[in-house]
Structure 1
Amino acid sequence: MLAALVQEAGPVTAGCVQERIGGGITYTTVMTILTRLHAKGAVARERVGRSFAWTAVADESGLAALRMRKVLDAESDRQAVLASFVTALSPGDEQLLRDLLAQAAETGEG
């Protein structure tokens, strides 16, 4: 569903999303999924007449990052959660995380 929105150049209706993904998914199912993605902050919507036009705010990796952030925000001991996460990473993923943190620090994003 999100992939269908990411491929679009601008806001689209739920009907357009339904056509794009095919597979016999009902309109109401498309609306339910879009509404849930909106609640998660993965899509934005704007009123168009009596319905909405939908736009992807995050791609699949962005949605995963949003979920990770929500889990972290829900915990009282952020340091413990992050420490547990880092120690569970493979050496390759740990190095990738270090590289990404270094890049973010260089560009002022971190």
Structure 2
Amino acid sequence: MSTTPRNRLGELERAVLEHLWTEGPSHPEGLTVREVHDVVGVQRDLAYTTLMTVLDRMAKKGLVTRERDGRAWRYTAAASRDELTSETMRHALGELAGTERRSALLHFLDESTPEEIDELRAALAALEARQAPGSTPRGRHRRQKVT
């Protein structure tokens, strides 16, 4: 992973990704700059060329994938919201040494609600069940290099 992770998003990049995640299921072929602009650009009063530049930069960062469709590009999110969040958390914790990592996790947990702690316990139980002897091993998700 690079020293500047792809998951450090600007406000506009986040809005574009949110739109791609929301519209993705109904547009598996991806969205054109025009289709993104018609929603995100109009809401934010942005020029078409601004969205075109942002999407191009996001493709170079690996945040979105793109495919040619005639003269236009069609864009899709390169990772799900969950995958990108996980990558952000992994990167932040990965920069810390052992005791600092533990301290950061404890601070995070101290600020968590009882419901969030219950969700964490359920997630840990699911992980332990997947890793139990006799279960099918599941490694880390493979990261895809996006061009």
- Do the two structures share a fold, i.e. TM-score over 0.5? yes
Contact 1:2 1:59 in 2 (8 A): no
Change (3 A) 1:53 1:80: farther
Residue matched to 2:37: 18
- Does residue 58 (structure 1) correspond to residue 55 (structure 2)? The answer is no
Residue matched to 2:64: 43
- The gaps in structure 2 that reach 5 residues or longer are 1-15, 132-137, 140-147
Match 2:102 to one of 73, 80, 83 = 83
Match 1:30 to one of 45, 51, 73 = 51
Identity %: 32
- Does residue 101 (structure 1) correspond to residue 124 (structure 2)? The answer is yes
Q: How many residues align?
A: 108
Whose strand proportion is higher, 1 or 2?
Answer: 1
Residue 26 of structure 1, CA deviation: 1.7
TM-score in terms of structure 2 length = 0.56
- The gaps in structure 1 that reach 5 residues or longer are none
Change (3 A) 1:35 1:63: farther
Structure 2 Cα separation of the partners of residues 51 and 81 of structure 1: 47
Question: SS in structure 2 opposite 1:12?
Answer: coil
Contact 1:12 1:53 in 2 (8 A): yes
Residue matched to 2:143: none
Question: SS in structure 2 opposite 1:25?
Answer: coil
Deviation per CA, 1:61-86: give whole Å up to 9, x if none.
4433332223234x262x33431232
Deviation per CA, 1:36-82: give whole Å up to 9, x if none.
54455432222334542111233444433332223234x262x3343
Could you say what the CA RMSD is over the residues aligned between the two structures, in angstroms? 2.8
